[in-house]
Structure 1
Amino acid sequence: MTSPQREAHGTAGTNAPDVPVPPEVPGVRHRYVDTGRLRTHVAEAGAGPPVLLLHGWAQHWYMWRHIMPLLSDSHRLIAVDLRGAGWTDAPRSGYRTADLVDDLRALLDTLGLDRVALVGHDRGAALAFQLALDDPDRVSHVVALNELHPYNDVRRVARNAWRYLWTPFVETPLVGRFVLKHVPSFTRTWLRLGVADRASMPADAVAAYVDMLRRPDLARAGEQLMYQFAYHEFIPMLRHPETRRLRPPALLLAGGADRFTPPAMLGDATTQAPQLRVEVVDNAGHHLPEERPELVAARIREHLRLPSADQSRPRRPT
């Protein structure tokens, strides 16, 4: 297999020549997958039933570095760098939720994966929910971390709107890319405010995210991801709540001290998602995989043991 460094340096139109190789994590191997939509970087570990790990905004696959060794004895873990993040291509367009879900479908097709479990954090969790709603036959289980579920209560969200006062600095066209590229202290502060225990977000981990976002193409992509959601998806989402039933068993872990998506924002979802269970992790913030990796890994393992919905349903043809 071509090394990540040689492959990243040797492909025109992908990442810039000065892109560093992905950080090393014992037992994790790296490769690039050309899906026909994107050249996608994935970090993999273990063997067994496949689990797709989907990172949140401002981060990349490395946020799963503590989780992967804890689950690799029983599962094939595939940590994806989403469009415009980490070592994956960062085209100028394609950052709406539907586009990103299509990216995931194309990746599953290319990898030959008929059905997977999804574990997502922040925006990655929103993608996990969306794929499970759109294409439930492809999703066995969902574990969502630090994100709203699809059945939002507009009143709860409105009462917490002040928590999004920071977003115009990164979602406004031209302003967002400038801040991400030239004001790294903004992203550093956001990451550190996301944990209740500052020691769980050490300087080297912060640098692993912040330094990548200072690349012009990734700064633009980070802005676009936030812009598309804020200007084209957020209000319609509140005006037209999700009515489809969530079929796969789902677990939502919320940090009790999450400054950005606190448990108080979560409404009742028992009608449309009777298999959705919400657990609040006390004294923990927005970055649960880095702040409470042992607990998160244990909950993932327990959840994936549950019978998946419609197990007798015929699989889609490969």
Structure 2
Amino acid sequence: MRPARPDAPRRPFPEVPGVTHRFVSARGVAFHLAEAGPADGEPVLLLHGFTQHWYTWHRVLPELADDHRLICLDLRGCGWSQAPGRGYHSAGLVQDVLAVMDELALERVRLIGHECGGWLGFLLCLAAPERFDGYLALNTSHPWRRAKGRLPLDAWRFWYTAAWEYPGIGRRVLRHWPGFTRFLLRHWTADPSCWEPAVLEEFVQALRAPQRARAGEQLLWQFVLHDIPALATGRYREQRLAVPTLMLCGDRDPVTRPAREVPGVTVRVVPGGRLLPEENPRAVADAAREHFRTAGMPGAERS
């Protein structure tokens, strides 16, 4: 294993059978990867959401590891990846992911993204469709929401971000008010009893480190500065998605409502809340197998 940079957390990795860990450097940042499955399996890149990291996938990995090479990336500033002071806007995160793929010599992958990692997945598929053979998006919105020059009417569901996103304030809430993070992680599930206490605390405590808290604040603030205006003004209206995409939505997700289908995007509602990888890993794995199999068939939409 390549050693972490000095600002990487000193906490041990959570134990998941069959998972190995390493670090790669890309764009001047040390990125942590958790990997499972055969080295010669079809590569699948998994992108976590906020407030989580690679361990988001700990219940999904055993479901897919028999015949897929699974690569769970900690995004810039999250989990065990390095947390520089800048670079958290979506365009930079897109370049991060593509640079990591280049470092791993991955010309093409299948992609799974959850929550803000799901939003990032759409931007990746728009920016570099030739790099992705299929995309599974979980608990997120696509860039073709009907905004009509204003924010969607259900934007109020993201009320909690006000405590985390404002510069200088968000990092303090993440560090010193862990009960708020704990409450939301439980609130976002359809059945909070799905949480094992140690798993819940892993995500809560990971955000309390100063550099992780600052990074989390920046991830959300950059979304406010760049992505929300892009949605409100319909920046993606004329862009066409060339990567076959399936969206899974939890029927009891309290934040993101099922999106409308658009060309190239199929929407499916399954039992669960906002944290489908934790709540319904079998549905996620089954959808991934089915979608990636059909996405690779002749006639599937491609660029």
- Where does structure 1 differ by over 4 angstroms across 4 or more consecutive aligned residues? 309-313
Give the aligned partner of residue 29 of structure 1. 20
CA distance in 1, matches of 2:260, 2:300: 31
**Residue in 2 aligned with 1:244?**
239
2-structure distance, mates of 1:310, 1:101: 28
Native 8 Å contact 2:244 2:300 kept in 1:
no
- Give the structure 2 partner of residue 289 of structure 1: 277
In 2 relative to 1, CA 300–216 (structure 1 residues): closer, same or farther, beyond 3 Å? same
Q: CA deviation at 1:224?
A: 0.3
Deviation at 1:24, TM superposition (A): 0.8
Q: Give 1:244 shift.
A: 1.3
Secondary structure of 1:253's partner? Answer: strand
Following the alignment from structure 2 to structure 1, what is the Cα–Cα distance between the partners of residues 297 and 99? Answer: 23
Match of 1:227 among 218, 221, 225: 221
8 Å contact kept, 2:261–2:267: no
RMSD: 2.1
The counterpart of 2:292, out of the listed 279, 301, 304, is: 304
Matched, 1:108 2:101: yes
CA pair 304-90 structure 1, distance change in 2 beyond 3 A: same
Percent identity between the two aligned chains = 43
Aligned residues between the structures: 299
**Shift of residue 311, structure 1, vs aligned partner:** 8.6
CA distance in 2, matches of 1:100, 1:288: 23
Report the alpha carbon displacement of residue 36 of structure 1 after superposing the two structures with TM. Answer: 3.8
Moved more, 121-130 or 236-245: 236-245
* CA shift digits 1:219-256 (9 cap, x unpaired): 00000000010133202222124121111110000011
TM-score by length of 1: 0.89
For residues 55-66 of structure 1, the aligned pairs below 5 Å read 55-66=48-59
Cα distance per residue 1:120-169 (max 9 Å; x no partner): 00011111111111110001100000000121111695321221222110
Q: Which residue of structure 1 lines up, in the alignment, with residue 61 of structure 2?
A: 68
After TM superposition, list the pairs within 5 Å mapping 1:18-167 onto structure 2. 19-47=10-38, 48-154=41-147, 158-167=152-161
In structure 2, the partner of 1:253 is: 248
Query: Structure 2: which 5+ runs fail to align?
Result: none
SS of match in other structure, 1:166? helix
- The alpha carbon displacement at 1:106 in A equals 0.5
Which whole-Å CA distance do the structure 2 matches of 1:310 and 1:55 have between them? 30
Structure 1: unaligned runs, 5 residues or longer: none
**8 A Cα contact 2:246 2:291, kept in partner:** yes
Deviations 1:174-205 (A, max 9, x none): 11000000000011011111100112222211
